[in-house]
Every structure is written in C-alpha cells, then in structure tokens.
Amino acid sequence: MPANFKLDLTHRPRRLRRTASLRALTEETVLRPANFIAPLFVVEGKSRPEEIKSMPGVFRLNIADLVKECQELAKLGVPAVALFPKLDSKLKDDDGTAALNEDGLILRAVRAVKKGVPELTVMTDVALDPYTTHGHDGVLNAARDDVENDRTVGILMKMAVLHARAGVDLVAPSDMMDGRVGAIRKALDAADFTGTGIMAYSAKFASAYYGPFRDAVGSASAAGTNLLSKATYQLNPANRRTALIEAALDAGEGADIIMVKPAGPYLDIIREVRQATRQPIAAYQVSGEYAQLHAAARLGWLDLPRTRHESLLAIKRAGADMILTYFAKEMAAELGK
C-alpha cells in the first residue's frame, strides 16, 4: 500500500466526531438531574445510617436522616424519591398485616418527607414483600405454593389509599398481580384521591438482579434466600411480547407511568414499550446492576464514574423518560457541575 493511499469517499462520518465541540453539537441523548428518581430505604428508630453490604454507598436511614437526604437530593435537582421500608422482622407475618398499619413506618416517613421537602415528588411501593414472613409480594394460597391474586389486590387497594392519605404523589404497585392497577385506581378515586398517580411496575421481570435489594429491605432474610422465585407473577426474562401485553393492560387500567425493570439488561423491552405506548416510561436500574458496577470497580476492572454514566445514558437512549437509580445523587452532583 503506498503511503499516500486515499479512499474516494463521499461519506466520512468521522468528520462530525473530529472535535469536542462537533461531538457536543451532534449529541443525541443528554442526561440531566431531573431524569432521576432516587430509591431510598427507611428504618425505624434513631440509629446511624447502616450501609447495605451488597450496595456500597447505599444506606438504610432513620426518618430524620431520610428527610435530610431528601433535602440534599432536591437541592441537586433530583425531582423524586421512591421510598422503601425495612421492617423489624417481629412485625412481619404471613399476610403482611403491617402493610395496613395506620401508623406504619412508611406512612410516617412519607409525611416527614412531604413536610420537610414539599417540592419533592414522593412515591412508594405497593406490594407486600417488606411485610411478609415468606418474602412474597402477596398473600399465599392454602397450599402455600402460589400467591392469591385477588385477595392480594384487595389488600393493595387499602394500602394504596393509606399511602395517598399520607401524601404520596404516586403509588407504585410492584407486585405484578393481575388487575391491580385498575383496582387501585378505583380505590384511590373512591377515596377522593383522584390526583394521586400510579407508576405501574408493568414489565417487571423475575430477575436475579434484585438480590441486593432483598437484603436491603430484609425480605431475603425473611425468605431465607435472596433468590426466592416470583416466577408465577413476575415476567419470564425470556419474553418480549408478554411485556407489551402487560404494559398495554396497565395503561388501559389507568397507569400514569409505565415502568420496565430491570433496566440495563432489558433495553430492548424499554425500546419496544416506548414504541407501543404514549405514556411516560420509567426504567429501574436495579440493585444488582448497581452492585455489579461497584464490584468491578473495586476489583479495578471498570471505571465507576464512566460506566455509571454510560449505563444510565444507554437506558435513556433506549427510550426511558425517567430512571430509578441508586446513582441518582452522585449523578445529579456530577451533571450539575
């Protein structure tokens, strides 16, 4: 090959990647603090923040510390938080009755955050797993080999109304029972909470990436494993069409926001749901996705700030309008600079 070899090319796409300013001009996807929802774990009492072993940098917070954390998030431009309670195991039972305790931890946490940081959007999970001794998201049938769909939905309706009364902006049914979105919508409306929205965990897969979260809320220790199978209600990771059916049902039943979860390993699903629905789409970068990046970074095998950014950019590029991520605070801080 001669040293002055030239291709006769009309198209040289690298022209637009030549300088930083050209790359900035042609950038298609941009992350901003307002894209993020911070999941936060709350505990009873006055104890100092306890770090979750499998989620470095994520803590279980008492209510006072939770409010402080929410203030910091709001200051950084993060518009929303999703709250999860970790209950004392003594309060758990087979039917998750503590979920309907009118002075329960999550309700006090919601009221405190709403009072301390009124501008912040607050959402809560509607599912029974933090409250049950078996760790399932619903109550069990007599044979104890499956959740009882309709009886569970009856409980979730009451739970959603309690959360609405405490002041949440959005309830987030994460249980995957059939018909729960419509039932919760009716229950909220009947109780005059027509303004309380529903973020539906619509395409929630039976994923092994939830392990660290189950440690965080204690549903793993209740169940004796963080790999409890929820395959009769969460979606089969092998399926795409099922996700579209679920998203369409939830939208029809009145879901305001449709969620896909996990996010990173399910970018194809985010894209397909984006094309199939008009609703805003949330994607949940789950605990295992977070843990994975931290573990590799600890080994010195991946660069955390760069993989963190890239993982979230990919989720947004796939079609998510908003992302639940344990990186919310540090990302907002980084983007605000």
| Residue 129 touching ligand PBG (CB under 6 A) | yes
Q: Can you tell me which of 180, 214, 294, 308 binds ligand PBG, judged by CB under 6 A?
A: 214
CB nearest ligand PBG: which residue?
213
Is residue 196 within the footprint of ligand PBG (CB under 6 A)? no
- DSSP assignment of 275-299 equals HH--S-EEEEE-HHHHHHHHHHHHT
Instruction: Please choose, out of 22-30, 45-53, 207-215, 267-275, the segment that lies near ligand PBG by the rule CB under 6 A.
Output: 207-215
To 10 degrees, what angle do helices 241-252 and 267-276 make?
40
86 is catalytic: no
| 222 versus 286: smaller Cβ distance to ligand PBG | 286
From 65, 69, 95, 137, residue interacting with ligand PBG (rule: CB under 6 A): 137
Considering only CA atoms, which of 132, 134, 201, 197 is closest in space to residue 168?
Answer: 197
Per annotation, catalytic residue among 92, 230, 261, 316: 261
Task: Tell the burial category of 231 from Cβ atoms under 10 Å away from its Cβ (0-12, 13-18, 19+).
Answer: exposed
Strands (E) across 166-251 are located at 170-173, 197-204
Stretch of 124-132, 152-160, 240-248, 266-274 lying at the interface with ligand PBG (CB under 6 A): 124-132
16 and 22 Cβ atoms separated by less than 8 Å? yes
**Exposed e or buried b for every residue in 265-298, given b needs 16+ CB within 10 A?**
bbbebbbbbbeebebebbbbbbbbbbbbbbeebe
Residue type present at position 40: L
Q: State the catalytic residue, choosing from 86, 204, 316, 329.
A: 204
The residue among 140 and 276 lying less far from ligand PBG, judged by its C-beta, is: 140
- Binding status of residue 152 toward ligand PBG by CB under 6 A: no
Among 36, 41, 205, 213, which residue sits at the site for ligand PBG (rule: CB under 6 A)?
213
Pairing type for strands 80-85 and 197-204 reads: unpaired
Q: Rule CB under 6 A: is residue 287 a binding residue for ligand PBG?
A: yes
CB of 135 to ligand PBG, least distance (A): 8
**Known catalytic residue: 261?**
yes
Contacting range for ligand PBG; rule: CB under 6 A; set: 59-67, 209-217, 251-259, 294-302: 209-217
Does the bond joining 262 to the residue before it have cis omega, within 30 degrees of 0?
Answer: yes
In order of 39, 88, 168, 280, 308, the CA distances from 329 in angstroms are 10, 27, 21, 22, 12
127 binds ligand PBG (CB under 6 A): yes
Nearer Cβ to ligand PBG, position 65 or 137? Answer: 137
Residue identified by tokens 């004796």 is: 224
Q: Which residues bind ligand PBG (CB under 6 A)?
A: 125, 127, 129, 137, 174, 210, 213-214, 286-287
Active site residues: 204, 261
